[in-house]
Amino acid sequence: MIRVFIGYDPREVVAFNVFAFSIQARASEPVAIAPLALRQLSAVLTRERHPLQSTDFSFSRFLTPFLSGYEGWSLFVDCDMLALEDLARLWALREERYAVMVVKHMHEPRETVKFLGQPQSRYEKKNWSSVMLFNNAACRVLTPEYVNAASGLNLHQFRWLADDGLIGELPRRWNHLVGYDPPRGDAALVHYTLGGPYFEEYRNCEYADEWRRERDRMLFAERRRPAA
């Protein structure tokens, strides 16, 4: 079973649902998807919202190992994404020598504001935490108490690990940053990090047509001819 935790923000409900559909539509193995909705985590995640926090799941993502019972592997992904390949191919990249595996972006935002007027922060290892394959047993430090108390930089810069050698690297196509990375036609996970085509101002961004096709596939029953 591939365990997937998707960040959930009520302002991006359509993004979450289209992304979840795109995962299931291509999966060749059983996939269990859980939204990290704050109202469902209120007994566990008690920290106050930070002024620079742009989404509801900025910190809840680090509860993934805890919610998995610190057993096996789990995948966390932001909700503003689209799966264009079978997630089993990403799952197959797991390596036991690592505590977590990510796409190691060199991401330095030029803007100070992103979607819905949210602040755009600059820091080392930015967007590494938007796709994380967790080796849960190796991430026992990420208890609810730790996640509630740690600073944002401590969490997102992986300072909770003994050293950066415990961070494995995933191919960049598994977290393609629209609007930042050079355009490519073979992205496996498309990440609309600035804002997706469900926002008017980003309706013509890279991979916008693919997102709309996926939305329509989800919304409308597909007519199939009966077998001859």
Q: 2-219: what CATH class? A: alpha beta
Angle, vertex CA 170, rays to CA 152 and CA 188, nearest 5: 105
Nearest to 5 by CA among 92, 127, 104, 133: 133
Q: Between β-strands 176-177 and 189-191, what pairing exists: parallel, antiparallel or unpaired?
A: parallel
- Whether the per-residue pLDDT at 10 is higher than 80: the answer is yes
Q: What is the DSSP string of 11-62?
A: GGHHHHHHHHHHHHHH-SS-EEEEEE-GGGSTTT--PPPPTT--STTTTGGG
User: What is the residue extent of each domain of the chain?
Assistant: 2-219
Mean pLDDT in the chain?
91
Q: From its phi and psi, is residue 159 left (phi > 0), alpha (psi between -120 and 50) or beta? A: alpha
Summarised one tens digit per residue, pLDDT across range 77-124 is 999 999 999 999 999 999 999 999 999 988 565 655 555 555 555 558
Confidence band, pLDDT 50/70/90 cuts, at residue 26: very high
Residues 154-164, mean pLDDT to the nearest whole number: 95
Predicted confidence at residue 113, as pLDDT, reads 56
- Whether the per-residue pLDDT at 48 is higher than 90: the answer is no
Summarised one tens digit per residue, pLDDT across range 175-189 is 999 999 999 999 999
Q: How far is CA 210 from CA 23, 33, 96, in A?
A: 14, 22, 34
Confidence band, pLDDT 50/70/90 cuts, at residue 162: very high
Nearest to 192 by CA among 2, 28, 22: 22
Among 77-86, 123-132, 134-143, 216-225, the minimum mean pLDDT is found in: 216-225
Predicted confidence at residue 124, as pLDDT, reads 84
Amino acid letter at 105?
Answer: H
37 vs 39: CA distance, rounded Å: 6
